[in-house]
Structure 1
Amino acid sequence: MPETINFDAFVVGAGVGGIYSTYRLSRMGLSVKCVDVASDVGGTWYWNRYPGAMSDTESYLYRYSWDKEDLQTYPWSYHYVYQPEILKYLQHVVEKHDLRKYMKFKTEMTSATWDEDTQRWMVTCSGSEELHVSARYLVNSLGLLSKVHYPNIRGLSSFAGDLIHTARWPEDLNLEGKKVGIIGNGSTGIQVMTALAPIVESLTSFQRHPQYSVPSGQRPVTKEYRDKVNATYEQIWDDVWSSTVGFGVFESKRNTMDASPEERQKAFQEVWEQGNGFRFMFSAFGDITTNKDANQEACKFIRGKIDEVVKDPRKAAILKPKDLYARRPLCDTGYYQIFNRENVEVVDLMESPIDQIVPGGIRTADGTIYHLDTLIFATGFDAIEGNYMRVKISGRNGKTIQEHWKNGPKAFGSIACAGFPNMFIVAGPQGPFANFLPVIESEINFIMSCIQYAEENIAAAQVEEPNGAANGTANGTANGSSKTNESYVRKGKPMIMEVSDEAETAWIDLCNRLIEGSLFTTAASWIFGQNIPGRKPSTNFYFGGLKGYLDWVKFQTSNGFPSFLRYN
């Protein structure tokens, strides 16, 4: 039995969230260990190495905000950063801030159990060697989009060629001259198809629900543009923190139907030419996600663009979505254009569904067999909860995370679950629907405020007499602004932070109310967990905007964390 190693904090995952969590905890003076099942840092960007993998956030915002010197000096050459560059950037941050010494790779957490007697988390990990850890704080950064999802298609295991998921792309895969089929046409599918079309013998896209996509505006960054961004970074980030979606795009308040048809066409054309999916959805008008008539105007515009771009009317008809523009907005680097190539085909699965996968390819219900050398699944992830369902995490009284989430994933402010003391989640359920990096930073800052609050109260407890009067400053928040509650402080015993059932329920109720009236509810997508057959839809995001979330967090931190059961 390996020796149990003690740490103040244990971080699971070395992606964007795990890196920043490790940085903050180590700078707080706590002993910390971070583990990841991968062989290096990167998280999502370690695993997703498929051709064309790219962030749909502008490069100057797809980075941490907290290192201003790095913001202004680290190179980025395109408006949107590709996967190899993102991975290199994350490795750079780890090296610059000397974080690798806290990390252990090829190590997977298999169980975490709250020990009521010691008031610590007992964690077991497997990998190159078994690891047993005892920690006061458990910070899970397992990833929003990590556990891959394969659709349940008859005959899947019979395929004789290469069967690949985009999130597990083989490094040595060569598809030149191959007959390639792809299932899935979300952001990943669009990116990989656009990259592969020029090099494969044939590319066949099997589509059940075609999606709306707009140009990304990808192009090299000029020196003048970079200089302008560097000179205005403070204002840029102030604007991000005070925005709804945090993508650095103008967020219009104008109602679509208040504009004349000519004005609507002009506004849509302007954002189409500028590029970026979130810009198209939020900058031309402010009610595309809430007003059906407005949404249909945006749909009509994009469908018209598909007709303009795709020369074959049959292909264009298949590629035009029939439902509302109500999934996560997508952007591309020439997606619709690839269907003008003779080697690229699209199959309408609504007209003729996949009957089964056969050794030589895919057979559809009309009896057609599409002969393939390689079959790619761009079918996404078991989002948010998938990675947690496969780990045994047991909180107070042995309650497991599976039991806590049996009716859908839930977490107070996306960061804490009732019944799981001193356990925090990065990018958990009901987090802000906004630019992922600012969201992760915001959530981790909230987590660190909770931990800092507990740490300050440990210091106070060590000098207090039993049941004595508590010190107001030490018993406050990270900025020392809360009221004293002497019943929470005991001599020499660390404070425990556990969100109350009532607070967690109130947060879920708020998230449910905020989604009322949103057109996002009309489209089945991973945003509500509906990409997994048989799963009950749930509200997985907070739709009150990034600023709304930050204002709410400020209330929590400046009022002494009223939603937490703070005890010793």
Structure 2
Amino acid sequence: MVDANETMSVNDKSSDVIDVIIIGAGFSGLYMLYRLRQQGFSARILEAGDGVGGTWYWNRYPGARCDIESLQYSYSFSEELQREWKWSEVFAPQSEILSYANYVADKFDLRKDIQLGTHVTAAIFDDNHSRWEIQTKCGNHLLTKFCIMATGCLSAARIPNIKGLDHFKGHYYHTGQWPHEGVNFSGHRVAVIGTGSSGIQSIPLIAEQASHLYVLQRTPNFSIPSRNRPLNSEDRQWWQSNYPEYRRKVLKTRGGFLVKDMNPCTAHELTLDEQLKTCETYWQLGGLNFLMSFTDLLTDKKVNDTVADFVRNKIRQVVKDPAVADSLSPSGYAIGAKRLCVDTNYYQTFNRDNVTLVDLRNGSIDEITETGIRIKDKIYEVDNIVFATGFDAMTGPLLKIDIRGRSGKKLRDKWAEGPRSYLGIMIADFPNLFTITGPGSPSVLTNMIPTIEQHVDWIAECLNYIRVHNYNTIEPILEAENAWVNHVNEVSNMTLYPTVQSWYTGANIEGKPRIFMPYAGGLNVYRQKCKEIADNGYQGFTFANSPSILSVTTS
């Protein structure tokens, strides 16, 4: 096996033009490299971290694990890989998913084309030569015909700008940039700021170590027990008994995952009593399966209110202090319209004597002092602060890079009022630049692995089409991009998603445009639309044979 920290060497400046440069060595980057190798393209991954794995390389906080069942959160492109790898739990922990990513990199000999420890700062399109110049923090300049952004949707960690943080004498951490050696909170007073997914996963484990834990909550989130357990032979037999068929079925679902032996219906087909029984069935299944309880959960407010009330009652049954239970009970927004959280003993943690919930709706953080956190006249003395404050989602990882397209047009300027793309894959005026699971695609509303595979396969086939037809460039026409943006908005407005301020809409980032960014039509519908566009000669894209002469426009 190759050392996971082994990196390629590259000259500071290179005149060689690589066919494709991929930014990011997470699950999308690894599979993209594999597919390009298959098709005979020269390709290289540039990765900021010192190892592969993307989000699973960076997010090592206590309790970090996937919220999609392990057997389905895995690549489908290799039958041999599927047979060889054995997941240990229903929901794999971060360490196991990272081991899986490293196993894939080694099995398919991907490391020789991965340059680790390379922070990309800029991607500049050269109009005269129809190629991209990729610039890195360490001074490298690399040339490539095609640039593929595999930067992930949740990789731009966000620490809020709180007065006094730089004067805090203790230690502070962000869940998305966790120290690789881990953190021991034994005997320490700890504050966790934020109760989204990473907060909800880490709080129970931090509470077991800390002498006292303060949980600072601005907005309570809905969370469903994961029912995690070791995988048994029956689980594996079910999945392996008809593996190809299950994989095909996954692609026909909205969310990119299957719920075993369940056939959801609309709530209107049932009486209220039957609806509550159905909620209980899915509650016992646990995890994101709960979202599949009714097909109209995210389109009918009355149905959504019934399900939300069911979950609030469950919270009150678990949390012993009625006032704390009320503070933990979400209200005023639709369940599932924010990312649903999945937990192990989250609500039970607030029954511990060493855990205090601080409801920031009663007063926000005024400042961080040398020894704690001040809210109005009260100071919470702490030794450590954990920021579980999420990410600048979807657009953040792309806008951190200075991306410039035709005539030096900046992506930051184009997206100043919100992201615009065609299919979430390409952007008008940015030729030969692809984004995997970009804004305008299903991405974060689905199981990311089949969504990634669909994007990678589509891009790989597109690049082959360009090569076969001897084109130099491809980009969307503006009319197609505008039509897709309108379609994304129309579909989201048919749901309850836009009724909620969430990171789906950029609401967690001050000054960020409030636009619902993913495509809510479902993975199944989206795949079909992408296929039809490709089958029609890449309808909505324009191709060029030379840097200055457009040859084909399909609309």
Q: Does 1:455 align with 2:467?
A: yes
For 1:285 and 1:123, how far apart are their aligned partners in 2? Answer: 47
Contact 1:162 1:374 in 2 (8 A): yes
| Residue of structure 2 equivalent to 1:552 | 529
Q: Which residue of 2 aligns with 1:222?
A: 232
Deviation string for 1:359-402 (max 9, x for gaps)?
1111112x121111100000000111112222221111111111
* 1:366-377 equivalences in 2 (<5 Å): 367-377=377-387
Decide which of 182, 194, 206 is 1:184's aligned counterpart: 194
Shift of 1:523: 1.5
Cα deviation for residue 215 of structure 1 reads 0.9
Note if contact 1:253-1:287 (Cα within 8 Å) is conserved in structure 2. Answer: no
SS at match of 1:419: coil
1:58-73 equivalence runs, <5 A: 58-73=69-84
Once the two structures are superposed, residues 93-113 of structure 1 have per-residue CA deviations (whole angstroms, 9 ceiling, x without a partner) of 010000000011111222222
Quote how far apart the aligned CAs of 1:311 are.
1.0
> How far has the Cα of 1:172 moved from its partner?
4.1
Alpha-carbon separation, structure 1, partners of 2:541 and 2:296 = 36
**Which one of the candidate residues 348, 352, 355 is aligned to 2:359?**
348
Is 1:149–2:126 an aligned residue pair? no
Instruction: Label 1:60 to 1:388 Cα distance change in 2 as closer, same or farther (>3 A).
Output: same
| Cα shift at 1:58 | 0.3
Find the counterpart in structure 2 of residue 301 from structure 1: 310
Cα distance in 1 between the residues matched to 2:458 and 2:505: 24
Question: Alpha-carbon deviation of 1:257?
Answer: 4.3
User: 1:347 is paired with a residue of what secondary structure?
Assistant: strand
Q: TM-score, normalised by structure 1?
A: 0.91
C-alpha offsets along residues 208-264 of structure 1, whole Å, 9 cap, x if unaligned?
A: 110111111200111122122112211211111001111212786533244223212
1:496 maps to which of 459, 470, 473 = 473
Equivalent residue runs for 1:111-510 within 5 Å: 111-127=122-138, 130-170=139-179, 171-249=181-259, 254-277=265-288, 279-282=289-292, 284-324=293-333, 325=335, 326-365=337-376, 367-432=377-442, 433-458=445-470, 494-510=471-487
- Name the structure 1 match of 2:506: 529
RMSD over aligned Cα atoms: 1.4
| Cα shift at 1:352 | 2.4
Superposition deviation, residue 514 in structure 1: 0.0
Q: 1: distance between equivalents of 2:369 and 2:202? A: 23
Q: 48-57 or 383-392: which moved more?
A: 383-392
Number of the residue aligned with 2:7:
none
Contact 1:257–1:293 under 8 Å retained in 2? no
Aligned pairs for 1:49-128 (under 5 A) are: 49-127=60-138
Give the letter aligned to residue 283 of structure 2.
W
Deviations 1:480-539 (A, max 9, x none): xxxxxxxxxxxxxx4311111111111100000001131121211111111112222112
Give TM-score, length-normalised by structure 2. Answer: 0.93
1:18 is aligned, of 24, 29, 33, to 29
SS in 2 for 1:22: helix
Q: Show the counterpart of 1:465.
A: none
What CA distance in whole angstroms lies between the structure 2 residues aligned with 1:301 and 1:533?
33
Classify the secondary structure of the residue corresponding to 2:142: strand
SS in 2 for 1:55: coil
Which digits, 9 at most, give the CA deviation of each residue in 1:339-376, with x for residues without a partner?
111111111111122222111111112x1211111000
State the percentage of identical aligned residues.
Answer: 37
* Secondary structure at the counterpart of residue 361 of structure 2: coil
1:79-132 deviation per Cα after TM superposition (whole angstroms, max 9, x unaligned): 0011000110000001000000001111122222211222111222233xx322
8 Å contact from structure 1 (residues 426, 443) kept in 2:
yes
Indicate which of 530, 535, 538 corresponds to 1:561: 538
| Structure 1 counterpart of 2:235, one-letter code | Y
Query: Secondary structure, in 3 states, of the residue corresponding to 1:20?
Result: helix
**Count of residues in correspondence between the two structures:** 528
Q: What residue identity is the alignment partner of 2:89?
A: Y
The one-letter amino acid paired with 1:430 is G
Q: 1:135: Cα distance to partner?
A: 1.0
Residues of 1 paired with 2:397 and 2:87: CA distance? 32
Query: Quick one: distance in 2 between partners of 1:390 and 1:327?
Result: 24
Detail structure 1 runs of 4+ shifted over 6 Å in the superposition.
none
SS at match of 1:526: coil
Query: How far apart are 1:166 and its partner, in Å?
Result: 0.6
Between the aligned partners of 1:280 and 1:223, the Cα distance in structure 2 is 24
Larger Rg: 1
Deviation at 1:204, TM superposition (A): 1.0
Distance in 1 (alpha carbons) for counterparts of 2:240 and 2:275? 34
Alignment partners' CA distance in 2, 1:257 and 1:210:
28
1:4 to 3, 15, 18: 15
Rounded Cα–Cα distance in structure 1 between residues aligned with 2:330 and 2:402? 41
* Cα distance in 2, alignment partners of residues 256 and 177 from structure 1: 49
Q: Distance in 1 between matches of 2:374 and 2:304?
A: 36
2:474, 2:227 → 1: CA distance? 45
Write the letter of the residue equivalent to 2:57.
Y
SS of residue in 2 equivalent to 1:387: helix
Unpaired stretches in structure 2, ≥5 consecutive residues: 1-11, 546-555
CA contact (8 A) 1:252 1:285 kept: no
The answer to whether the Cα contact below 8 Å between 2:14 and 2:143 also exists between their aligned partners in 1 is no
User: What's the counterpart of residue 464 of structure 1?
Assistant: none
The Cα shift of 1:409 comes to: 1.4
1:316 is paired with a residue whose SS is helix
Deviation per residue, 1:401-423 (Å, 9 max, x gap): 11221111122111100011111
- Native 8 Å contact 2:70 2:90 kept in 1: yes
Cα separation, partners in 2 of 1:53 and 1:172, compared to 1, 3 Å? closer
